[in-house]
């Protein structure tokens, strides 16, 4: 396990904390597969409500995570593999958007996305006390969801890229992510191996951050491949399309 993520002790659901964010005044974490009540392909800490699991199991899994992390308000959006970024500047929000990234400035509100191979990112600005989560799959990355999240942090809350710290969570890596030739052409600088068709989705999103002025030293990639670690994290490819989702979340301390 990467030293960027440390497993939370004390039993309960499998949760990996990003300690470097705590030093900046935020709590960021990713869930694993263990410690839930779902069974079969969704065993056991599935948080995806739209993947075929029993709704009561999903709610119990989320409740266990809330209790373990002391979460008061957990907010998510309807993810559509797009590039829309939703902001949370008051509570409760007026509506639930279709969005693949959330920017939050409200203390006590935990913003989250769910994934199973797509890249989950956490962005924090310790100066403006603003945080964001993003779900960056292939489509979202093509649409520059990470860049647009950073831009929204700037336009909405005057966050400066030089102050932003990023954590890149578990996702499918270039060792396991083979794409077709057309997709590889669109990611030519982030593909290699097997005729240049192994996509490095984490690198593609890191390049978006660097391109907008986030410092290399402030980008922390856990390096975990969900497909290689499919017993620890849900993986859409690793489990042939039928699987659960894990959570990526952030809040102010």
Q: What rounded mean pLDDT belongs to the chain?
A: 96
Predicted pLDDT of residue 94: 72
Give yes or no for residue 1 having a pLDDT over 70.
no
Give yes or no for residue 39 having a pLDDT over 80.
yes
Give the predicted TM-score (pTM) of the model. 0.97
Predicted pLDDT of residue 93: 81
Give yes or no for residue 220 having a pLDDT over 60.
yes
Predicted pLDDT of residue 152: 98
Give yes or no for residue 101 having a pLDDT over 70.
yes
- List, for residues 158-179, the tens digit of each pLDDT value: 999 999 999 999 999 999 999 9
Percent of the chain, pLDDT > 70? 99
Q: How confident is the model at residue 97 (pLDDT cuts 50, 70, 90)?
A: confident
Q: How confident is the model at residue 16 (pLDDT cuts 50, 70, 90)?
A: very high
Predicted pLDDT of residue 141: 97
**Tokens linked to 5:** 């993520």
- List, for residues 52-86, the tens digit of each pLDDT value: 999 999 999 999 999 999 999 999 999 999 999 99
Q: Which range (89-98, 104-113, 139-148, 204-213) has the least confidence?
A: 89-98
Sign of CA dihedral 159, 162, 167, 173: positive
Domains and CATH numbers, the chain: 6-252 (3.60.140.10)
């Amino acid at each position: 396990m990467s030293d960027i993520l440390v497993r939370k002790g004390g039993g309960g659901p499998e949760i990996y904390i990003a300690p470097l964010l705590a030093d900046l005044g935020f709590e960021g974490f990713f869930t694993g597969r263990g410690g839930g009540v779902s069974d079969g392909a969704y065993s056991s800490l599935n948080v995806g409500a739209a993947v075929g699991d029993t709704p009561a199991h999903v709610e119990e899994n989320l409740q266990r995570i809330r209790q373990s992390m002391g979460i008061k308000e957990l907010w998510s959006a309807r993810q559509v593999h797009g590039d829309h970024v939703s902001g949370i500047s008051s509570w409760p929000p007026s509506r639930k958007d279709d969005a693949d990234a959330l920017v939050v400035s409200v203390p006590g509100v935990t913003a989250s996305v769910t994934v199973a191979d797509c890249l989950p990112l956490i962005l924090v600005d310790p100066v403006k006390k603003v945080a964001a989560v993003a779900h960056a799959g292939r489509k979202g990355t093509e649409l520059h969801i990470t860049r647009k999240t950073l831009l929204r942090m700037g336009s909405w809350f005057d966050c400066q890229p030089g102050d932003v710290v990023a954590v890149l969570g578990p996702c499918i890596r270039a060792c396991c992510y083979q794409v077709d030739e057309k997709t590889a052409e669109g990611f030519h600088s982030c593909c290699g191996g097997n005729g240049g068709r192994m996509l490095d989705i984490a690198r593609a999103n890191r390049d978006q951050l660097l391109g907008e002025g986030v410092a290399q030293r402030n980008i922390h990639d856990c390096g975990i491949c969900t497909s290689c670690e499919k017993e620890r994290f849900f993986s859409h490819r690793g489990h042939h399309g039928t699987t659960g989702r894990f959570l990526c979340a952030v809040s102010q301390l």
